[in-house]
Amino acid sequence: MEKQNSRFRWVVFASVLFTYLLMASQRTAPGLITDQVMRDFNVTASTIGLLTSIQFFVYTGLQIPMGILVDHFGPNYFLILGAILTGLGTILYSLGTHELVLFSARILTGTGDATIWVSLVLILSHWFNVKEFVRLIGLAGMTGSLGFLLATVPFSAWINLLGWRTAFFSAGLLLCFCGILLTFVLIKKPKQIFPNESLSVKKEFKLAGTLALLQRTFSDRQAWALFFCHFGVVGGYIGFISSWAVPYGMSVYGMTRSDASQLIMMGLIGALIGAPLTSWISSKLETIKRPYVIVHFTILLSWSSFLFFRGNPPFPVVVMLFFLIGFGFGASALTFALVRQTFPIKESGIVSGFANTGGFLSAVLLPSIFGTILDFFQTTSGSMTDGYFYGFICPVIFSLIGLIGVSSFKEKRQDSGRKATVHSS
């Protein structure tokens, strides 16, 4: 394919990943102002948990439909629309004067965010060959972690400088600009460079074929293994840092908001290292499953350590635990390397969406469960430390499910994986 030999593919890569960077930052940025929102809008911890969950609920619910749509119609327009919707949702969040406006804004943001990962996977599949894809998917995962990192100290400083409303408004404008930029990079310029080449868009939507593909995916044990694998590694991390990590540092350790955001930066540094390093290790060992099992086991031990110390580990231990959990989250890009290795490329959109649904279903569940537990213990005993202790049972259970999922996956040999991919192309 000519596009896979073009230098312009790196412009596509950089533009898509920059958009992903900004969109990922808005998944967790509201966690920086949890206490301010609770105070300004007079809402409880349960409401904050629901506010966080609603975005991930919309994101999760749209993953499979989005996979079907990008498989049939191509990912370009969906990614452009998603960037603009996320920007508009972020702007609306900054202008909110009532909690219902905040919920509407997060629904809009979740709708836009739902387009990014599945579209990104398909775009990279079209512009890069299989060997490049395996390496670049790790960098893509690292970019998501960079987005979360952007939503810690840098965005916290931006909030302190301008106030949270102006900070979120400016982020929304930048995302809308990214949508305009992607229109040029993904649509207009490729038509000029490759006038005779298809943009990988299927004009016809066949309902019968789509239903058969859905049935095949939902009955595939490998797809379910990836679903539960992603469930265990993603949701605990994203669900916690997007809502309760900063309040945890402030409540249990008496930290300032800025210091607490530096604490979760350790997790993000771990994620930045975990994504490319685990991809490199898997490539060298010529196996994805074995290192991924070790990653899941480490995550389980890390979350369990919070229970061992009754929710209040020594501070150096907390730093190490956040780093290890973040490292495991960075390694979650391996889920989609397993998708590419196991399933034909024509089905990679829906299978990627299905696996991603598992990851963000847990991100939907955790903030609300955690918030409900905190409210209960604050009401009954007045102890937030006890609330966090029992709250950590939730990510422990989630990570155990993830370990079971990755352990039950049957990995194809490297050579057979290549044959399947070449055949599907």
Dig out the tokens for 151 from the structure: 């939503």
Tokens of 166: 């102006």
35: which residues sit within 8 A by CB, 6+ positions away?
Answer: 247, 250, 257
Length of the chain: 425
- Residue 198, both tokens: 């298809």
- Identify the CA nearest to 277 among candidates 143, 142, 413: 142
Give the closest residue to 232 by CA, choosing from 66, 361, 109. Answer: 361
Provide the residue-wise pLDDT of the chain in tens; the chain has 425 residues. 477 777 888 998 999 999 999 998 887 788 777 777 777 777 777 777 777 778 778 888 888 888 888 877 788 889 999 999 999 999 998 887 787 888 888 899 989 988 888 888 888 877 887 667 767 877 887 888 788 778 777 888 888 888 878 888 999 999 999 999 999 988 888 887 777 665 444 545 565 667 777 788 888 889 999 999 999 988 888 778 767 788 888 888 888 877 887 777 788 788 888 888 888 888 788 888 899 999 999 999 999 999 999 888 998 999 899 999 989 988 888 888 888 778 877 777 788 888 888 888 887 788 778 888 888 887 776 667 778 888 899 999 999 999 999 999 988 754 443 333 333 32
206: phi then psi, degrees, rounded to nearest 5: -100, 110
CA-to-CA dists, residue 121 to 80, 86, 329, 390, angstroms: 15, 19, 18, 37
Please identify which residue in the block is written with the tokens 């690292």: 142
- Give the residue from 102, 113, 178 showing the smallest Cα distance to 148: 113
Full domain range(s) for residue 146 = 2-199+206-424
Place of tokens 């390093």: 277
What's the number of CA atoms in the CB half-sphere (13 Å) around residue 352?
Answer: 30
Dist CA 358 CA 356 (whole Å): 5
- Residue among 156, 136, 116, 115 nearest 32 (CA): 156
**Rounded-to-integer distance, Cα 420 and Cα 423, Å:** 5
Q: How many whole angstroms from its chain centre is CA 309?
A: 28
* Rg (the chain; Cα; Å): 21
| Cα-based torsion angle of the residue sequence 35, 40, 42, 48 in order, rounded to the nearest 10 degrees | -40
CATH classification of the domain holding 402: 1.20.1250.20
Sequence letter at residue 46: S
Q: Render 297-328 in DSSP notation, one character per residue.
A: HHHHHHHHHHHHTTT---HHHHHHHHHHHHHH
Name the amino acid, one letter, at 170: S
Q: Are 125 and 352 in contact (CB under 8 A)?
A: no
- Give, in order, the Cα–Cα distances in Å from 384 to each of 218, 245, 374, 377: 41, 13, 7, 7
Q: Name, in order, each residue with C-beta under 8 angstroms of 4's C-beta and a sequence gap of 6 or more.
A: 127, 128, 129, 132
189/256 Cα distance (integer angstroms): 47
- Tally of domains in the chain: 1
CA dihedral sign, ordered 351, 356, 361, 362: positive
pTM of the model: 0.72
The rounded Cα 299 to chain-centroid distance in angstroms is 17
